[in-house]
Amino acid sequence: MAMQFYTSPEQIMRDRAEFARKNISRGRNVVALSCADGVLMVAENVSSTLHKVHELYDRIGFLAVGKYNEFENLRSAGVRLADLRGYSYDRRDVTALGLAKAYAQTLGAMFPEQTKPLEVELCVTGVGAAPEADEFYRLTFDGSINDEPGYLAMGGDADRLKEVLAEGHDFAAPLADAFALALRALSSDGGNGTRRELTKDVLEIAVLERARPGRAFRRIEGLALDALLAQTESESDTDDGAAEGDATTDTDES
Amino acid sequence: MTGQGFPGKLPNAYMTAGTSSFSEFLSQVAPELLPGRRPLPPGDYAEISAHATTIVALRTADGVVMAGDRRATMGNYISSRDIEKVFPADGYSLVGIAGTAGLGLELVKLYQLELEHYEKIEGAPLTLNGKANRLATMLRGNLGIALQGLAVVPLFAGFDIDAATPAEAGRIYSYDVVGGIYAERDFDSIGSGSIFAKSSLKKRYRRGISTDEAVAAAVEALYDAADDDSATGGPDPTRDLYPVVMTATAEGSKRIDEAAVADVARAVIAARTENPYG
């Protein structure tokens, strides 16, 4: 006969949380921040096809770290919920907060019920009419929801990244400056103040453009990414050289 | 919303992998939102809703042009003078509707979302053929109500971004109420004035026509349709209402500026004032 051992609920929850936290912290980092041109989302991602940054709806983006199959499942659920709500009511009735709450409830309900907790951390972000109105909701594996105004970092070195972002964040900065800050944050996690070099092959970048009507989500890749990187490099070298490359980005510095 | 097994969680249909179709998802979670799933009592309901009329589409050297008149009718009276019946289906394709206006507009809204939903879930858009076939599948679900007089017939046209040259990229697909799908070689028209519009296009169309010429030919075809079909509205300078004209080319799908269409329509009217038979 199998022997049933008593384990306190507290112990079970603590074990699950530790399991989830440990596995999430192994992942690479993602950051999202608000700037004058919109919400910039940057992920360190070795794959160019298995994305961590996604579009949920017209003005709502989604970032995730952790186990791909799990957050992919949650992302599809979010797209379905958003599209159903927009179809039944109106496109403007789909809000980042509504989706974040649905995620919080889903994650919160699954955490105590399932033997293995989901090893994911999500962010639902919405671009507003002004930078100060941008929304960032961070959701953890147990259904906790945090409102983080202005900027957000997730992944193994989230705390360190957040310090860098807190120092440099400016709502009024143009996209190129915000990108430089995001890059600085992502490359600072080598420990002891050392900096890693991040090439464009391991960067996944997207922006929710404030001024764009309809679907505001745009991936920055190819020539647009080259131009953005060139702009960032020329600034960090304090050269006055105009950004070379194709001017396909919408980063006008006026 | 309550999920099986985990109260408070989104229902399982939201978490199911393997489907990228919004209408399939809808059939699981909210079937009442699908037009074909609403049971009607026996009878013919052709007269309870407004009818949308004529749409024309032409292949051009750069892609396709689609245009629609602005009239909707209920029996012998005009229920709308400014209805719009041509829409961008997505970034590279257009859809126009004829038949029961209310259901047609609903079908277009659902179809636009179907394409967008697929693109968001899969991370890439459907091919042009895939989009055309998807529209046929959605029409098949409406067959029951179509037989009760609430038929909707769409016209689909788009720019195939996978085509070798722009001249081959324009494609037009027509449909029938049972969901039959027919690829058209040069041009097509649907709706009550379609016979007259097609006759007009027969005389004006030639292969490799430029977009500007195609816009003029489309507006003239609608003029001819309005000339002989009471349910098709002609250009209306007194109210400043002109056909809706859209293009799908390598630059994407876009609506031709209303002022530009007004100029074309005025030119057609002026030419017909000189010579009433074109």
Q: Do B121 and A79 count as a contact with CB atoms less than 8 A apart?
A: yes
Residue with the larger pLDDT of the pair A197 and B74:
B74
| Short-list A122, A147, A145, CA closest to A70 | A122
Measured in whole angstroms, the distance separating CA B143 from the mean position of its chain's CA atoms is 18
Measured in whole angstroms, the distance separating CA A95 from the mean position of its chain's CA atoms is 17
Judged by DSSP in three states, A175 sits in helix
Q: Is residue A15 part of a domain?
A: no
pLDDT digits (tens, 9 = 90+) for B149-177: 889 999 999 999 999 998 899 999 999 99
pLDDT digit string (tens) for chain A, length 254 residues: 667 788 888 888 899 999 999 988 888 899 999 999 999 999 999 998 999 999 999 999 999 999 999 999 999 999 999 999 999 999 999 999 999 999 999 999 999 888 888 999 999 999 999 999 999 999 999 999 999 999 999 998 899 999 999 999 999 999 999 999 999 999 885 556 667 788 888 999 999 999 999 999 999 998 999 999 888 877 665 444 343 444 444 444 33
In this prediction, residue A189 carries a pLDDT of 56
Q: Is residue A136 part of a domain?
A: yes
pTM score of the predicted model: 0.90
pLDDT digits (tens, 9 = 90+) for B106-153: 999 999 999 999 999 999 999 999 999 999 999 998 888 888 888 999
Residue A178 tokens read as 């915000």
In this prediction, residue B5 carries a pLDDT of 53
Is-contact B166 B250, C-beta < 8 A? yes
Is-contact A87 B110, C-beta < 8 A? yes
Residues of chain B in contact with residue A76, where contact means CB-CB under 8 angstroms, are 14-15, 17, 121
Between CA A216 and CA A218, with CA A217 as vertex, the angle to 5 degrees is: 115
Residue A103 tokens read as 């995620």
In this prediction, residue B162 carries a pLDDT of 93
What is the nearest CA distance from B51 to chain A, expressed in angstroms?
23
The residues, any chain, with a CB within 8 Å of residue B230's CB and separated by 6 or more, are: B73
Q: Is residue A114 part of a domain?
A: yes
In this prediction, residue A204 carries a pLDDT of 95
Q: What single DSSP character describes residue B42?
A: S
Q: Indicate the pairing of strand A60-66 with strand A53-57.
A: antiparallel
| Short-list A63, A47, A27, CA closest to A217 | A63
pLDDT digits (tens, 9 = 90+) for B241-264: 999 999 999 999 999 999 999 999
Measured in whole angstroms, the distance separating CA B183 from the mean position of its chain's CA atoms is 15
Side chain identity at residue A45, one-letter code: N
The CATH number of the domain holding residue A87 is 3.60.20.10
Question: How far, in Å, CA of A17 to CA of B225, rounded?
Answer: 69
B254 and chain A: CB distance < 8 Å anywhere? Answer: no
Q: What single DSSP character describes residue A46?
A: S
What is the nearest CA distance from B9 to chain A, expressed in angstroms?
4
Q: What is the three-state SS of A49-111?
A: CCCCEEEEECCEEEEEEECHHHHHHHHHHHHHHHHHHHHHCCHHHCCHHHHHHHHHHHHHHHH
Residue A113 tokens read as 């019920």
Q: Which CATH superfamily is domain B21-30+44-274 in?
A: Aminohydrolase, N-terminal nucleophile (Ntn) domain (3.60.20.10)
Side chain identity at residue A75, one-letter code: R
In this prediction, residue A239 carries a pLDDT of 41
In this prediction, residue A253 carries a pLDDT of 38
The residue among A76, A88, A145 with the most chain B CBs within 10 A of its CB, best to mutate, is: A76
Q: Is residue A18 part of a domain?
A: no
Q: Is residue A132 part of a domain?
A: yes
Q: In what order do the strands lie in the sheet with A120-126?
A: A53-57, A60-66, A120-126, A135-139, A145-147
**Which one of A76, A86, A105 has the shortest CB-CB distance to B121?**
A76
Q: Determine the structural domain holding residue A168 and report its residue range.
A: 28-236
Q: Indicate the pairing of strand B72-74 with strand A217-219.
A: unpaired
Calculate mean pLDDT across residues B199-209: 96
The residues, any chain, with a CB within 8 Å of residue A32's CB and separated by 6 or more, are: A39, A40, A41, A42, A61, A63, A123, A125, A136, A151, A152
In this prediction, residue B167 carries a pLDDT of 87
Number of compact structural domains in chain A: 1
Rounded to 5 degrees, φ, ψ at A35 are: -145, 180
Residues of chain B in contact with residue A77, where contact means CB-CB under 8 angstroms, are 10, 14-15
**DSSP characters over B205-241:** --TT--HHHHHHHHHHHHHHHHHH-TTS---BTTTTB
The CA-atom distances, in angstroms, between A137 and each of A250, B91, B266 are 26, 30, 54
Residue B3: band (very low, low, confident or very high) from pLDDT cuts 50, 70, 90: very low
Rounded to 5 degrees, φ, ψ at B116 are: -65, -40
Rounded to 5 degrees, φ, ψ at B27 are: -65, -20
Question: How far, in Å, CA of B188 to CA of B206, rounded?
Answer: 13
In this prediction, residue A1 carries a pLDDT of 60
What ipTM describes this predicted complex?
Answer: 0.90
Q: Is residue A4 part of a domain?
A: no
Residue B82: band (very low, low, confident or very high) from pLDDT cuts 50, 70, 90: very high
